[in-house]
């Protein structure tokens, strides 16, 4: 494993990357390489307990390996489900019909009473989004519904007055209602082009707190874990999908309250010792141990945290608590993050390197 060039400086972006924004995505090469080298047929499936945009699930699926992904964030789960399921052939035609219906719809559709909606969305944009969501909901319960919601979710920040996916600042981007429909269709076309065809293996996606995992959630023994857990003071995933969750009918505050690593809680404290994260990861690893097959590998891709000016080595925390839970620490690999591939970079916590901690049962 140490002989592999983990920086992947020539890595090409996945076609999914340009469709639906998601902060701090895996590059496909990381889970692909880990699965290629560490999956030996032991166990029944690959697990990603913080599956995010579903990259690990996609790479397992490409190799005909069943997988289970878990995420607290409903937008992450939506992205993962769409990424790992077959797209119906009629999808693009359905999207075009939905837009045509919205443009000719005379009925007034009530705009949802979202917090501060008039600040972040112009009146005509609100109306167009409400019409689009109303028309999409006519397909609820069908095999196309998730993909429709995915395309709808992908455009929300783009047509808003929010500066970008990672910056909550007001900016009039000059968007109009027509942009809502054109961006929706563009997203649908990109998704149609990006889909890999018939899935080669099942990928199950569970929208829940991974610390509340039960045996009923798992289809057998875990053969390999490949994941990138949210760590202290890095990214607030709930925040960057807040208005997507509101528009899709989810509760972002509930996600915020359970999210591991959200940075606001660490700024409120005068001092942070790293205990919260260690306790949560210890709970996770102890819970996973009996579900893992013998010799199963667990791979954690993680950065270090800077809190109140002090650096916390989350890779060392994972290694230590892994050993306390009964796993062997095989190695920790270091890789440099390509600055051009970062989703964004927090001014208070410059993240230049990340680490791949490999444990084994």
**pLDDT for the residue numbered 344:** 40
Q: What CATH fold (topology level) applies to the domain 15-86+201-245+262-360?
A: Rossmann fold (3.40.50)
How many DSSP H helices and E strands does the chain contain?
Answer: 14, 11
46 and 225 Cβ atoms separated by less than 8 Å: yes
Structure tokens at 97: 């019909």
**b/e code 239-260 from CB counts within 10 Å (16+ = b):** bbbbbbbbbbebebeebbeebb
Count CB-CB contacts under 10 A for residue 57: 31
Q: Show the tokens assigned to 152.
A: 């709808």
Round to whole Å and give the CA distance between 315 and 304: 7
Distances (CA, A) of 242 to 120, 162, 165, 253, 254: 12, 12, 10, 8, 11
pTM assigned to the model: 0.93
The share of the chain scoring above pLDDT 70, in percent, equals 91
pLDDT one-digit tens code per residue, 311-359:
889 999 999 999 999 999 999 999 998 755 444 444 444 568 899 999 9
In the chain, residues under CATH classification 3.40.50.150 are: 15-86+201-245+262-360
Q: Which residue intervals of 1-121 are DSSP H helices?
A: 29-38, 55-62, 74-83, 91-104, 117-120
Q: How far apart are the first and last CA of the chain?
A: 17
Query: Is residue 22 within 8 Å of 52, Cβ to Cβ?
Result: yes
Average pLDDT of the chain, as a whole number: 90
Question: How confident is the model over 102-134, as pLDDT tens digits?
Answer: 999 988 899 999 999 999 999 999 999 999 999
Q: How confident is the model at residue 79 (pLDDT cuts 50, 70, 90)?
A: very high
What pLDDT sits at residue 115? 95
């Amino acid at each position: 494993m140490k002989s592999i060039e983990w920086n992947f400086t020539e890595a090409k972006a996945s076609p999914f990357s340009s469709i639906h924004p998601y902060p701090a995505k895996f590059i496909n090469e990381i889970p692909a390489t880990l699965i290629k080298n560490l999956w030996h047929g032991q166990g029944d499936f690959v697990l990603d307990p913080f599956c995010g945009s579903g990259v690990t699930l996609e790479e397992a699926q490409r190799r005909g390996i069943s997988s289970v992904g878990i995420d607290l964030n409903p937008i992450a789960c939506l992205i993962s489900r769409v990424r790992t399921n077959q797209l119906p052939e009629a999808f693009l035609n359905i999207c075009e019909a939905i837009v045509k219906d919205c443009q000719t719809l005379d009925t007034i559709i009530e705009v949802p009473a979202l917090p501060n909606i008039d600040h972040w969305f112009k009146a005509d944009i609100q109306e167009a989004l409400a019409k689009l969501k109303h028309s999409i909901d006519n397909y609820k319960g069908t095999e196309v519904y998730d993909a429709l919601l995915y395309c709808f979710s992908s455009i929300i920040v783009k047509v808003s007055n929010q500066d970008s996916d990672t910056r909550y600042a007001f900016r009039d981007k000059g968007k109009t209602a027509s942009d809502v429909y054109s961006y929706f269709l563009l997203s649908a076309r990109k998704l149609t082009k990006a889909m890999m065809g018939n899935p080669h293996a099942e990928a199950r996606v569970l929208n829940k707190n991974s610390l509340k995992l039960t045996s009923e959630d798992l289809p057998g023994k875990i053969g390999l874990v490949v994941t990138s857990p949210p760590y202290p003071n890095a990214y607030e995933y709930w925040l960057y999908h807040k208005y997507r969750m509101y528009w899709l009918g989810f509760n972002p505050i509930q996600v915020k309250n359970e999210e591991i690593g959200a940075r606001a809680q660490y700024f409120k404290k005068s001092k942070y010792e790293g205990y919260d994260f260690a306790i949560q990861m210890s709970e996770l690893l102890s819970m996973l141990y009996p579900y893992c097959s013998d010799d199963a590998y667990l791979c954690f891709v993680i950065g270090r945290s800077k809190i109140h000016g002090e650096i916390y080595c989350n890779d060392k925390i994972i290694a230590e608590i892994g050993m306390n839970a009964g796993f062997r620490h095989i190695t920790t690999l270091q890789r440099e993050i390509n600055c051009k591939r970062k989703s964004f970079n927090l001014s208070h916590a410059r993240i230049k390197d990340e680490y791949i901690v490999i444990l084994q049962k």
